[in-house]
Each structure stands twice: as C-alpha cells, then as structure tokens.
Amino acid sequence: MAHISDTTPVSVGAGSLAHSRGATWRDRIFPFWNLVFLVILAATMIVPFLNVLAVSVSGPLASSRPGIHLWPEAFTFEGFRTVWVNVGLERAFVNSVIVTSIGTTLHVILASLAGYVLIQKDLPGKKLLVAFIIGTMAVPSELIMIPLYVVMKQLNLLNTLAALVISGLVSGFSILLMRNFFAGVPYDLAESARIDGASDFRIFTNIYLPLSKAGVATIALFELVGRWNQFLQVILFINDSSKYTLQVALQTLVTENMSTSGTSMVTPNVRMAGIIIAILPLIAIYPFMQKYFVQGISLGAVKE
C-alpha cells in the first residue's frame, strides 16, 4: 500500500507535466506563425520604402540600374534639388500645403460646431438629424462627383484651389465622432457655466474643445491625410498644371517621360526624391498626434 501510494502521485504528476508541456507547445504555435506573418507583412511595406529612399539619394547612373536597392550608391542629394527646382515640384508642394491646411482647419471647425449642436438636449428633431447624417455616410463620394462638378462650374470655382478646399469640407463621420466626444463631457459643466453667464461660444471653446482634444486630433489627422493625398478631385476640378497639388504632379513625374531641360531626362533618383518629399510631412506629423489618434479611435465609435 505504501508502494502504491508512493507511485500514484508520481504517475499523476508525470501526466500533468506532459499535459502542461503539450499545452505550452500548442500555445507557442500561434504566436510563432503570427509573428512570421507580421514580419512578412511588414517587409512588404518596409522594403519598398527602403528601395525608394535608397534610390532617391543615389546618383543618376546608379539609380538607373535594375533591381531592388536597399542601400544608396554614389550618395547624393542631387535628385532632391532637381525635382524641387528644375522639375518644379515646389509649386505643387505649396498648393498642397494651402489646400490641406485651410481645408483641414475648416473641416475641424465645422465638424466640431455641428457636433456641439447635436448634443443639445432641447434640439428639435435631433434623432432625425442624426439619422440623416448617418445616411450620408452610405453615399459613395464617387456618386456625387458629377453633381459637385456642376456646382463648382456654376460658382466659377473650376481651376481654383478654393474648389479643392470646399470639396469634402464636411463629413458625417467627423460630425458624429465629435458629437460622441462632446456627449462624454459632463453636462453639469455647461450648466454651471451658463448660470455664471457664459455664452454658448465660450462654453464650446473653453469647456468642450479642451476636453475633446483626442476627437479633434482624430478628425484632423484623417482629414489631413485625405487632403494631402487628394487625387481624383484635383483631376476633376483643375486643368491648369500650375495649380496641381503634389500627388497629381508626382503622378505626372513618375509616369511620363519628362525632362529637366532639352537634353536631360528625369532619372529614377529624381522620381523617388519626389515620392520622399510627398510622404515626409505625414511621417513628421503622425508621431505627435498618435496618442490622440489611438484614443479617438477607441472612444469615438458611432452610437446613438
């Protein structure tokens, strides 16, 4: 009996140990293959970027060699100078900055004002307004391109940067996102401010906006990226090449056989330098807005 009692726990312990080892082995399979998948997915994005960066700072002859370049050859910034000065990407960059900065600022202001209106308790037909705004989100932007073109033509805004600013000036997503953030602000704060004589505008600017920085940063980042990468609207509304924004000018640079003078052609390092110039502003801005952006995405779900 003593022998049996001594060996029984051992066999049970061995079985438990084997089961534990099996569970540990199975638990490691998914993280391993998940890591492999993520590494491959990251490589599909990192390798092309490294190739663009390496070619952009390579010499004209070295950049023309076929294959993937992960390290620059004949290091030089000549491509950046050429694309900025000789090719004339500077004007397109300025146009993009104007359209993006003004358009994003107005978009954030209008979305915030509309979101503030929708949280008022005494607003008549509030649910109907919210339903209408949600309905606009189901309409593809391509579906209203022709009507929007007709409106711009009637307003004499074709071939102007104002047409690019007005296009997409408001969106249902941004309005509802700001409404949800404002709804999370304690209503008693606004009531106390009203009792003290504060106006709605002061309540909006001094209470709601400071407490909803994450929402403002979220819609600002979405709008900034969208306007900076604007392409279809530019082709639709702009015919004058001097008013092209960066993405359209870059598309022309990459796809067409342009020349910087009568004899010199645009080499791959010049094209890649243009691509780097186009993405650098977004890379520079995103780290400062990331924490607000993540918070805005997690807290700003559309709800009623």
Over residues 1-22, the mean pLDDT reads 47
Over residues 39-61, the mean pLDDT reads 90
Contacts of 268 (CB under 8 A, 6+ apart): 55, 63, 64
Mean model confidence pLDDT for the chain: 82
Domain count for the chain:
2
Task: Report the C-alpha gap between 186 and 203 in whole angstroms.
Answer: 12
Q: Are residues 119 and 181 in the same domain?
A: yes
Residue 262 confidence (pLDDT): 45
The CATH number of the domain holding residue 220 is 1.10.3720.10
Over residues 197-214, the mean pLDDT reads 88
What pLDDT digit, counting tens, does each position of 156-175 carry?
Answer: 999 999 999 998 898 898 99
Q: Are residues 130 and 234 in the same domain?
A: yes
Task: Report the C-alpha gap between 183 and 180 in whole angstroms.
Answer: 5
Q: Are residues 93 and 242 in the same domain?
A: yes
Residue 25 confidence (pLDDT): 65
User: Model-level pTM?
Assistant: 0.79
Q: Are residues 48 and 84 in the same domain?
A: no
Q: Structural domain of residue 18, as residue ranges?
A: 2-56
**pLDDT of 276 strictly over 80:** yes
As a whole-number percent, the residues of the chain with pLDDT over 90 amount to 27
**289 found inside a domain:** yes
Q: Are residues 154 and 213 in the same domain?
A: yes
Hey, what are 20's tokens? 């534990």
